Structure formats: structure tokens, C-alpha cells
Amino acid sequence: MQNPTPSVPTPEQIRRAPKALLHDHLDGGLRPATIVEIARATGYTALPETDPEKLGAWFREAADSGSLERYLETFAHTCAVMQTRDALVRVAAECAEDLAADGVVYAEVRYAPEQHLEGGLTLEEVVEAVNEGFRLGEQRAREAGHRIRVGALLTAMRHAARSQEIAELANRYRDSGVVGFDIAGAEAGYPPTRHLDAFDYLKRENNHFTIHAGEAFGLPSIWQALQWCGADRLGHGVRIIDDIERKGGEVSLGRLASYVRDKRVPLEMCPTSNLQTGAAESYEEHPIGLLRRLHFRVTVNTDNRLMSGTSMSREFEHLVDAFGYTLDDMQWFTVNAMKSAFIPFDERLAMINEVIKPGYAELKAEWLFTPGPGTPPVASGSARSGS
């Protein structure tokens, strides 16, 4: 047997490969059956469908519709069933279980505590319920034979005025499961500089934060997030491609694109979500292909698993189909994500060296144990000992 050139992984290998996820929204990843059950238990009657399968299809169709109103409506329904402690614990636990079953070994999952107060919970009670759910989900995953570590990112809504409060909340719980801060929401008309007080506070506290930027609004959003606010990572950042000029086979980087690449600014890219929002026309035309070739610090993420009908494995399957990526490419993306995580350096290094690299090495070695063509089967009882 000879080791073939690196081949594209099978869907089963993709699922088993260890993966790291940095950009996943808790309210965008609920199980449809859970939504139906919590809605029934809490008396929420506004769901468009009460059959879980039909409801899941409705979420995907609404997200694909091209209508911003329908897209935002999807989150109104998920948030509506996440207003009690028990619901938050359940949703967070199932999130961790689902990610672990998909081969995710490290995840940072974000949510906006301010969106879960309608049932009378305080901000602190929301955070504690979600943290409890993540720990429960990690435990259940271990019992099912999977390993995952989940950290929470607390999100402030950029159209609201609670970013300082949420930043302080993230800082208070930084040793209890919260690993960082984020702002999200419509970029146009709500620049990140509106929240400079929160970012300055986090920098003074030596805390981590990422900013949704460069998804819909373009280069000014990225520039402000980095040069005014000091973001550690960019949520999406896909529009950095606008600062890269291509003429024939020549590629020229503008000042901002060069800065992002040279400073190794992590880009939390979400291919399927980007297609839904019009940031890319197809997987084959998604900027991730060029950015990977140019060695930007690109990571692969899910964004909203329910609305996009996706998972980390499906995201990689699309990229493998579009670009012929191998297990080596998957490992590159995964190591990028782990290098960019908001946990201590020694823990990131241990995850890379003791979990991720060994996992990919085992997958890449599987060809050694696959019989080649024409290899006769070994008859039972025919083996002999020899020197």
C-alpha cells in the first residue's frame, strides 16, 4: 500500500474530526421539538407551526426568504421560549450535546442576556441558568462518549443602550463560564463606536471581546471595530474581501486587509449564513477560499444552526465540495479557531496538541488499515505466528 495524495474526507470523517467553533448563537440553534414543547408548557401560541419537522422547515425557509422581516421573526420565536430558568438550562444543555455529537470539542456560544428578561429573570439569573445548562450538556456529552468544552460570550445589542451593563456582567462571570463579550445586531446605522465605553472598560479589565463587523456594512465597520474599539476578533469579517484587488492571477491587498492578515486578526466566517444574507453568491464564490489561500486567520463557524439548517460538519462538507479541502485544510481551520479562542494560552495549546492534532492524525492514518484492492481476506483460524 502507498499513501495516496491527501484526499477529500468523507462525511463520516468530517463528523468525527475534532472541530472548534467560535461563532454560534444560542437562540439560533434550538431543536424544533424543544421550541414546540416549551411553547406548549409556557402558553406561547404564536408559533407558525406546531409540528417539529414543519417548524424546522419554516425556520430555514424564513431565513432563506430574502426578507429581513421574516428573518428577524425567526429569533422572536426562539427568544420567546427562552424566558424561564428551566428553558434556558434545557436549551443550553441541548446546545452542548448537539455540538459534541457533531464532533465539536471546543465551542464559544453567544447570547444576549437582555433578550431573556420578559419572564422576570434578572441578568444574573439568565447567565447562571445558561452556564448551568452548558455544564449539564458537557456532562451528558461525556456520558455519551463525546468530549466538549463550552464557553459563553455575552452579547449586547448594538441598537440598545445596555452594552456597558452587559460588559460589566461578562467581567463578573469571567471565572464562571463566561469567556468574553460581543455586540450584535444591524450594522448599518449602529456603528461599534457607539459602544466605546464598554470596549474601553473591557480593555482596562484585560478582558476579551469580539465584534460583529464586516458582514453587511463593509470595510468601515471592520476598520472601526479594530482601530477604534480594539476588537480581538471579527464576527464574520467577510467584507474584508472588498480591500483585496484581483487582476488576472495577481492579488493586491489594501492597507486594512494587510493589517488584518499581518496582525493575525481572527475572522469568524459563517459560509451558509453569509449566503443567506447575500454576502456571497455561492460556496464556490465565498471569500473564504481566497482568504485561506492568502493565509488570513480564517475560522469556520455555524452562526445560527436552526435558521441555516446547518452544523459544523455540514459547513465543512460544503467547503470540501467547493474547494476540494482535505483533512489537512480542516485541521488548519480548526487550529486557527483554537489559537483564537478566549481561554488561557496553555489551555488552548493543550487542546491543539492533545486533542485536535492527535484526532486528525488518527483520521489521516486510517488508510493504513484499509485493505487495498485485490487483498485476499484472511480466513478464520489461518493465521500463523512468525518471526
pLDDT digits (tens, 9 = 90+) for 20-66: 999 999 999 999 999 999 999 999 999 999 999 999 999 999 988 77
Q: Is 185 among the annotated ligand-binding positions?
A: yes
**Above 70 in pLDDT, residue 251?**
yes
CA distance 145 to 142: 5
Instruction: State residue 386's pLDDT score.
Output: 43
The string of DSSP letters for 38-66 reads HHHHHT----S-SSHHHHHHHHHHHHHSS
Domains defined along the chain, listed by start:
17-366 (3.20.20.140)
pLDDT digits (tens, 9 = 90+) for 334-363: 999 999 999 999 999 999 999 999 999 999
Q: Is 354 exposed, middle or buried (0-12, 13-18, 19+ CB in 10 A)?
A: exposed
Percent of the chain with pLDDT over 70: 93
CB 154 within 8 A of CB 110: yes
pLDDT digits (tens, 9 = 90+) for 112-150: 999 999 999 999 999 999 999 999 999 999 999 999 999
Instruction: State residue 379's pLDDT score.
Output: 53
**70 compared with 100, residue with greater pLDDT:** 100
Q: Is 262 among the annotated ligand-binding positions?
A: no
Confidence bin at 158 (pLDDT 50/70/90): confident
Nearest to 166 by CA among 146, 184, 181: 181
Choice among 94, 187, 215, 268 that is catalytic? 215
366 is catalytic: no
pLDDT digits (tens, 9 = 90+) for 179-238: 999 998 876 677 888 999 999 999 999 999 999 998 877 899 999 999 999 999 999 999
Q: Is 23 among the annotated ligand-binding positions?
A: yes
Instruction: State residue 162's pLDDT score.
Output: 95
Average pLDDT over residues 271-280: 88
Q: Where are the beta strands (DSSP E) in 165-322?
A: 178-184, 209-213, 233-236, 244-247, 250-253, 267-269, 298-300
**Above 90 in pLDDT, residue 76?**
yes
Q: Is 27 among the annotated ligand-binding positions?
A: yes
**Backbone φ and ψ of 249, nearest 5°:** -95, 0
The string of DSSP letters for 323-344 reads H---HHHHHHHHHHHHHT-SS-
CA distance 131 to 152: 7
